[in-house]
Structure 1
Amino acid sequence: MQKRVRNDYMYLKSLSVTELNQYVKKILENDFILRNVLVEGEISNLKLHSSGHAYFSLKDKGGKINCVMFKSDVAFLSFKPEDGMKVNIKGRVSLYDKEGKYQFYVTEMTKKGEGELFVKYLALKKKLEEEGLFDEVYKKEIPKFNRNIGVVTSPTGAAVQDIISVAKRRFEGVNIYISPCLVQGINAPKSIINGIKELEKLKEIDLIIVTRGGGSLEELWAFNDEELARCIFKCKKPIVSAVGHETDYTIVDFVSDVRVPTPSAAAEIAVFDSTKYIALLDEMTIRLQNSMYKHIDAKKYSLNLMKEKLLRNSPEMIVRNKLKDIINTREFLSNKMESTLVVLKEQLAKECALLNSYNPLNVLQKGYSIIQKEDGTTVKGSNMITEDEVYKFTFAEDKVYGRINLLEE
């Protein structure tokens, strides 16, 4: 058999499997419709992975498509998906290029029957978001120490009892103002608006809590009202939203200043825990007392130093010190004088003894005498004697005057 050769092969670019899958994936993701599409069908082969992701198939009589919903989107579900449940899903179509299978990436899911309401919800959410009603810049700060709390809710619901119980446990002095309203039905939005406005008029109100228990999308629909959203946005009081369960999200949640998952959580954020502050106050009191005692001790020590310094420099103390110096000086001089006198007496005694040893009168005690002329000249030899001159003769016991007769040998 003759083999047929196609000439157009030489003009085709050869693609790898990966390149082909990536090309198809790009086509699917760039398609305007497939990027944001709503699909309804029945859940089958549901697997809730430990990671939090949900894997399932969506089917109808004519076919099925593999779907995946990531953990971040599963967290916002208001119900638990189950096999056989008919749902509406929103998301995008793409290709899982590793296996060459296209699948649906789900971002939102509602039970069938809620689809129309959900579409309205998404449309209103988008509208208000584009107008900036959800922007953080407009969010009012929640006061830390609130004494008067306004609550807009059903007076017979469990939500109000939870708020009162938690609030009183945290701070007994808190005042709860209940503004009763409808939380479900066609008249509920207007009733809630009136409740907010009534509380807003009260100057003593620190903040307002808008709350009710959980429920389906239809049951919570009153909190997806546009007029209510604009009322909350314009309210001058901070507003805390606690509508439904943790997985329930309403327009009120987005436009309020703070959204919490439960009424109890709303009470916790609105009312400060007095026990913590009492304990902190006790600790600060002890620290203040210790600091005060330490400061007083330091001042006492400083005062004593200044007192001592003042006493040392007072006129009386100066006089006393000078008098003490005078007394000490006098004692020193007296002692010095006495010691000097003792030394001088000893020296005098020695000089007297020495003088006495050289005293010529002491020689007279041995029988000698001293002959002096009238002018006091001591006669030292006979050649100084004349017979007619009167001489003084000094003996040990007395003195006499007389002439000397010279005799020849």
Structure 2
Amino acid sequence: MYIKTLTVSALNGYIKKLVDNDFILSNSSVKGEISNLKLHSSGHIYFSLKDESSKINCIMFRSAAKNLKFIPEVGMQVVVKGRVSVYEKEGAYQFYCDMMEPDGVGELYLAFEKLKNKLQSEGLFDEKYKKPLPKYAKKVGIITSPTGAAIRDIINVTKRRNKNVELVIYPALVQGINASADMIKGIETLNKVEDIELIILARGGGSIEELWCFNDEKLAKAVFNSQKPIITGVGHEIDYTIVDFVSDRRAPTPSAAAEIAVFNLEEFKNRILTYENILQTRIQINLNNRKNEINLLKRNLMSLSPSIYIINEYNNIDRLRELIDIKVKGRLNKEKEALGKISALLSAHNPLNVLNKGYAMIQDENENLISRVSTLKESEKVKITLKDGYVCANLTVKDSSKI
């Protein structure tokens, strides 16, 4: 029997025809729990339906999604109606949903909420127990898969932010039955490394089943009891696990966890330079202010200096001397003027001036002025003063009546 060789496209097309022509597959109702939910901005809804052992990828186009009376959520148990078909390009079959109805909450979601409420009531989520993160950690422990995207993202972010930070990687399972026990051992091991200052517990995105090991109670308590602070970066931003509530800091992704744990060296240097410039500016301003104060005090000291005071007083003395000279000269001139008037008056009444006209002045022995003959005694000595001197003489007084 001859078997024709088919192309991949022909094979996928053939399988699609078989599936599309099957009565049951083209008109089915399926019950399961929602996971990997994505509400696309276009209005389409992409998700998976799962049960205890299997899952199927589903899509609900906008035309059908607009008729929903509720918002689908991860963990919700639903019944969908529609058809199974093959996406030829990928060679994958998926369920195309025309209707969706809620059918209770999935078992995983119930288990998650139950453990969350239990640990919260025990105080494991309280902020008062959150350990502070070191601002400038030099050595960071990483618990994750050594081959996953998470470790590559953490390494890339660390190299970009600060090449001097040392990363100590504990290779651990981050999915499956033994994953939680492996991560607990990693926490215990890294806590024993003395110079490790911070631990990152991380893995990339995945379905709720793939991330379920991070909802383990023992792992949550190991994170809570860690002596070193722990940052969790599990899944994508919308993914929350129990360890996120217990950890000292939750990051939305492994990259974000590295951003939090590793300080940016370049920003740190720039901050130091900024502080240095501010400090230098303030020191210079302070020095200038102090110089101005010193100059002001110096001027005040100079103005109050004894030598300046003495100089000023010398100037004041000179000014007073000039004032005294002016007043004395004024007074002398005034007195000279008065004296001149008196001198003129005396000169006018000076009897000696009469002598210049040929007159003489006769005085007795006691220099008393003799103005009358009757006052002369006989043969009395007299002093006769002329204009050019005086002579002494004896006068003989005769009776004028006999002459």
The two structures have a TM-score, normalised by structure 1, of: 0.67
| 1:293 corresponding residue in structure 2 | 284
Mapped to 2, the partners of 1:287 and 1:106 lie a distance apart of: 64
Q: Does 1:186 align with 2:177?
A: yes
Aligned residue identity for 1:247: I
| 2:207 corresponding residue in structure 1 | 216
Q: What SS is found at the alignment partner of 1:197?
A: helix
**How big is the shift at 1:243?**
1.0
1:34-92 CA-to-partner distances (Å, cap 9, x unmatched) read xxxxx94599xx99698x999xxx9xxxxxxx97444xx74x679xx997499xxxxxx
**How big is the shift at 1:380?**
2.7
Q: Does 1:384 align with 2:375?
A: yes
Aligned residue identity for 1:137: K
1:280-328 CA-to-partner distances (Å, cap 9, x unmatched) read 4444333322322222122222223333444455565555555555555
Q: Does 1:127 align with 2:110?
A: no
Mapped to 2, the partners of 1:317 and 1:366 lie a distance apart of: 69
Mapped to 2, the partners of 1:247 and 1:312 lie a distance apart of: 77
| 1:265 corresponding residue in structure 2 | 256
Change (3 A) 1:327 1:270: same
Mapped to 2, the partners of 1:210 and 1:119 lie a distance apart of: 24
Q: What SS is found at the alignment partner of 2:297?
A: helix
1:117-163 CA-to-partner distances (Å, cap 9, x unmatched) read 44544443343334332333333233333332221111222211212
Mapped to 2, the partners of 1:407 and 1:173 lie a distance apart of: 155
Alignment of 1:83-232 (within 5 A): 84=82, 115-232=106-223
Unmatched runs of 5 consecutive residues or more in structure 2: 1-29, 50-66, 85-99
Q: Does 1:307 align with 2:298?
A: yes
Corresponding residue to 2:388 among 374, 387, 397:
397
Mapped to 1, the partners of 2:117 and 2:354 lie a distance apart of: 152
**How big is the shift at 1:386?**
4.6
Change (3 A) 1:166 1:47: closer
Q: Does 1:245 align with 2:236?
A: yes
Aligned residue identity for 1:377: N
**How big is the shift at 1:399?**
1.8
RMSD in angstroms over aligned alpha carbons? 4.0
Contact residue 69 and residue 106 of structure 1 kept, 8 A: no
Mean Cα deviation higher: 356-365 or 272-281:
272-281
| 1:364 corresponding residue in structure 2 | 355
Mapped to 2, the partners of 1:310 and 1:211 lie a distance apart of: 72
**How big is the shift at 1:395?**
1.6
Unmatched runs of 5 consecutive residues or more in structure 1: 1-38, 59-65, 87-102, 109-114
Change (3 A) 1:351 1:199: farther
1:146-186 CA-to-partner distances (Å, cap 9, x unmatched) read 33222111122221121222233333433322222122233
**How big is the shift at 1:388?**
3.0
Contact residue 379 and residue 394 of structure 2 kept, 8 A: no
Mapped to 2, the partners of 1:42 and 1:250 lie a distance apart of: 18
Mapped to 2, the partners of 1:240 and 1:212 lie a distance apart of: 12
Mapped to 1, the partners of 2:154 and 2:203 lie a distance apart of: 11
Contact residue 387 and residue 406 of structure 1 kept, 8 A: no
| 1:254 corresponding residue in structure 2 | 245
Count of aligned pairs: 332
Corresponding residue to 1:351 among 326, 342, 356:
342
1:11-41 CA-to-partner distances (Å, cap 9, x unmatched) read xxxxxxxxxxxxxxxxxxxxxxxxxxxx945
Mapped to 2, the partners of 1:318 and 1:252 lie a distance apart of: 84
Aligned residue identity for 1:356: S
**How big is the shift at 1:201?**
1.8
Change (3 A) 1:85 1:196: farther
Contact residue 251 and residue 257 of structure 2 kept, 8 A: yes
Mapped to 2, the partners of 1:124 and 1:397 lie a distance apart of: 155
Change (3 A) 1:262 1:197: same
Contact residue 200 and residue 237 of structure 1 kept, 8 A: yes
Aligned residue identity for 1:265: A
Change (3 A) 1:85 1:296: farther
Change (3 A) 1:375 1:121: closer
| 1:23 corresponding residue in structure 2 | none
